[in-house]
Chains A and B, each alone.
Chain A
């Protein structure tokens, strides 16, 4: 399984990439593999304020429906409309074109509960 080391991971298999204009969130390679072919994605409304571990999106494959939880608290600033059109991007490029949403992380948010790459690899190994 591909587990990039520059990302942070939630126990519920979302990844988070911190950036200058907020953080990007998607699901891990392991998660997409477990789900198999993703057929549908429901993304949150831009502007929505969410708490850490709050259910914000839904990803469905032909065999499972999975809630996606925000790894951190913050405000949704952008969603990936390409992935709504073509959910298979989550399978083909989970860390790139298959990202789900961007979130402006609350000030003082604690990211300490998230795993680094090695920690996450231990979790799924």
Chain B
């Protein structure tokens, strides 16, 4: 107690230095934080609390408070941080990349880079759960799904996965669902090496054996084969005709998975045509920079029979209340937030922004443009192969698409490597003397000359003239049949004006952070500052291949090292892995580390994972993936872990207790008092504590997962550390671990360590967007981060205070305060007025707001998380909206408004409806459209009326062909 009192006084003192008006001292922190001293004072006053220090004392349990300030460098200004980043990244060397292996250089069309990738209207949106204000990216994602189906020959595709390796692992899990008795997954040895590693890691805890070999030797007899995976074209570039193999597999009832290259598929027979059941791959080369590993969108498609086993999010078509076509996320109940430990995947966040980029790339080039790019790449590869052969060099067998392989001695390989490095080129070097050369959209005739030079051959005498006629080594039987991408959307936007307007039209249908606060509980929709985003577009950040030699990526190495040590300091852990490229993947990686730790100590039986019933559904899904059995622990009425039940469960499973997963502050938005005790109890019984870092935004600078007693914690950099949500991805989910778990952090073959724990394709996952978090921490410094946490907590308590008169606040801590979010109860209105959470959510759209988190963790409630970046004025505007809605509900209870035909039940209201000549509702148009003065000054119009969820799930349509049939117009 004494210690914490001292700490608080130190903290309070430091806080003083930051309590200035927003922007007042010119520091970045003063721009990031929504309120300055005077507004903070007003909010504290409303709470009846004297100082920020007092509020923290009363909110955060004293026994977990940090004793010292965060050990981080002092804050830099935006200019200083950008300068340091530029200096650091300047140490990267951008060589021409011919490495391939699933990553190809490409050209991001400037119209897409500027108006989509760099546009906050696109990158600050949330996952499109609120369909009526997300029609833009839902349409773009439907285009993506359509593109994937058309290229792969599959009938259903999802709206993206994290990367190709994890997509292959998801496909394996689907196969396991189709073949319950299967134990062996056959994988062609010519799949990308990193994919095989990801598969092995994923297979081991599930008791699945990965069998690699020549696909021609695969035998499918017996029931123990659960599926087969081949690469198309193979990792060495060769295009095999897998038709016979697929037919044999089909005969035996074994599902066939193809990992395919989308650019090659514009020319080649689709996997669907030759018999694949599931197709995965990476859409990176469709205009998304390599970014030293990511982020990029992976894809997965399957035949219609598999659609309910397809992991991740699927956009479907339905209609709104007025019968207009509209898009929505369909089949939500397959997801882990419903299925929990029965889910076969933990995937939540995917790669929406990157999937949209890839779809727009396809629209921009159209089928003819895509084929032209593919033919050109193939032509240059054929030409290179021919010239190399003429020069007496042994080149791999044809047919190949863009990648060829050269066999030579180790000595010759060394010579080539030296010459290539001198010429600024990276080739792929295998251990046995083989050299891979993979061409891409950016390859020029001059590059071919340079490559020939590396092998000691003279350049092509006729230079660019050799670009015509197109050369091809592709046999007729392997060519794609049928029209490519016939859908309208891939034909309408090939001038810059049309594309510019299409992107703008879609963007303007979506509510993002550039419109208003998105108060989603547990999602931390804070500011994604422009300065944080800028380095992403620099070539020295964007254009590195993930497997480029380490000495060309010294800038990245320095940035990783900073970020790892800062995150370790912030969380109180010994080591950090930046690899997991989503929060769910962080959970999986952390649990794998716990599992490996127990096993290394000979305690193989520790396979029980305790998970509170209040946990997010991803927790149990991740636990099952990591080989744990899930045992639920109850919660008390306050939403806290039921200590008696916990004690009973740890005692019952004393010999098998592996881990407890706990979210802190709790999923109910409260700093639980007993957390330290809970961690101690779990440790006493031999278990490890996994902390879900979803709510870390309430901890930074005040307390630390490591200090509280957790052994592992994942951090959502897309929540606490400012990576934008991208409209549903990318995310990044690093894990921090205590010292004893450090040997079990994810590794990678390309960095030569721990290749048995590989959770995603690239060594540092989505490396390029780590720059965003680096910038944030640099510009905030330790004090700024703590000030952000304090203000996030103050803002949540202020909102709770303003709303408590109208809506019951469900959970509070010991002294009546919430943490960084609050849950309001709407259940009483169901009986009184027939109003449910959904009605309030849809009505909020009319007020210009995205709804808070709905019905989680408690059905019939809303969870509001304002974050530190919202100003008091914006908090008030939001509270005014909620209070206005309360008045509208009251009008129903008093009988002033109709019970069924009212502004809530009919919400949201579109401009079309309100301006229609027919208006027969018992309320005025004005009250529907302009419920507040703020909406009169600026109005955000929902694109469609309330979406019909039931119709959409009963009549599943998830490609655009049918949309045109519905809408009669490609728009």
Closest to A59 in B: B333
A37 at the interface (CB under 8 A from B): yes
Closest to A62 in B: B949
B936 at the interface (CB under 8 A from A): no
B332 at the interface (CB under 8 A from A): yes
A18 at the interface (CB under 8 A from B): no
B961 — which chain A residues lie within 8 A by C-beta? none
- The answer, among B332, B342, B949, B954, for a CB contact under 8 Å with A87, is B954
Bound Cα distance A60, B332 (Å)? 10
A64 — which chain B residues lie within 8 A by C-beta? 333, 338
B950 at the interface (CB under 8 A from A): yes
Give A34-69 as 1s and 0s: 1 = Cβ < 8 Å from B's Cβ atoms. 000101101000000000000000001111110100
A88 at the interface (CB under 8 A from B): yes
Bound Cα distance A67, B953 (Å)? 18
A61 — which chain B residues lie within 8 A by C-beta? 333
A65 — which chain B residues lie within 8 A by C-beta? 333-334, 338-339
- The answer, among A42, A62, A67, for a CB contact under 8 Å with B950, is A62
- The answer, among B333, B339, B342, for a CB contact under 8 Å with A62, is B333
Closest to A66 in B: B333
A67 — which chain B residues lie within 8 A by C-beta? 342
CB pair A63–B333 under 8 Å, yes or no, is yes
Interface size on B, residues (CB 8 A): 11
- Which DSSP category, helix, strand, loop or mixed, fits chain B's interface? helix
Give A19-41 as 1s and 0s: 1 = Cβ < 8 Å from B's Cβ atoms. 00000000000000000010110
Closest to B954 in A: A39
A81-120 residues with Cβ-Cβ distance < 8 A to B are 87-88
B740 — which chain A residues lie within 8 A by C-beta? none
B334 — which chain A residues lie within 8 A by C-beta? 65
CB pair B953–A40 under 8 Å, yes or no, is yes
Bound Cα distance A88, B955 (Å)? 12
CB pair A62–B332 under 8 Å, yes or no, is yes
Q: Which of B332, B338, B953 has most A Cβ within 10 Å?
A: B953
B308 at the interface (CB under 8 A from A): yes
B950 — which chain A residues lie within 8 A by C-beta? 37, 39, 62
A66-86 residues with Cβ-Cβ distance < 8 A to B are 67
Closest to A88 in B: B954
Q: Which of A60, A61, A64 has most B Cβ within 10 Å?
A: A60
B321-350 residues with Cβ-Cβ distance < 8 A to A are 332-334, 338-339, 342
A60 — which chain B residues lie within 8 A by C-beta? 333, 953
B308 — which chain A residues lie within 8 A by C-beta? 40, 42
A42 — which chain B residues lie within 8 A by C-beta? 308
Bound Cα distance A87, B950 (Å)? 11
CB pair B953–A39 under 8 Å, yes or no, is yes
Bound Cα distance A64, B334 (Å)? 9
Give B761-795 as 1s and 0s: 1 = Cβ < 8 Å from A's Cβ atoms. 00000000000000000000000000000000000
- Minimum CB–CB distance for B563 against chain A, Å: 39
- Minimum CB–CB distance for A47 against chain B, Å: 16
A39 — which chain B residues lie within 8 A by C-beta? 950, 953-954
B332 — which chain A residues lie within 8 A by C-beta? 62-63
A37 — which chain B residues lie within 8 A by C-beta? 950
B342 — which chain A residues lie within 8 A by C-beta? 67
26 of the cross-chain contacts (CB-CB < 8 Å) are A37-B950, A39-B950, A39-B953, A39-B954, A40-B308, A40-B953, A40-B954, A42-B308, A60-B333, A60-B953, A61-B333, A62-B332, A62-B949, A62-B950, A62-B953, A63-B332, A63-B333, A63-B338, A64-B333, A64-B338, A65-B333, A65-B338, A65-B339, A67-B342, A87-B954, A88-B954
With A39-B954, A60-B953, A62-B950 known, 13 other A-B pairs at CB within 8 A are A37-B950, A40-B308, A40-B953, A40-B954, A62-B332, A62-B949, A63-B332, A63-B333, A64-B333, A64-B338, A65-B334, A65-B338, A88-B954
> Which residues of chain A have a CB within 8 Å of any CB of chain B?
37, 39-40, 42, 60-65, 67, 87-88
> Which residues of chain B have a CB within 8 Å of any CB of chain A?
308, 332-334, 338-339, 342, 949-950, 953-954
Which 6 pairs from chain A and chain B are nearest by CB? A39-B953, A65-B333, A37-B950, A62-B949, A39-B954, A60-B333
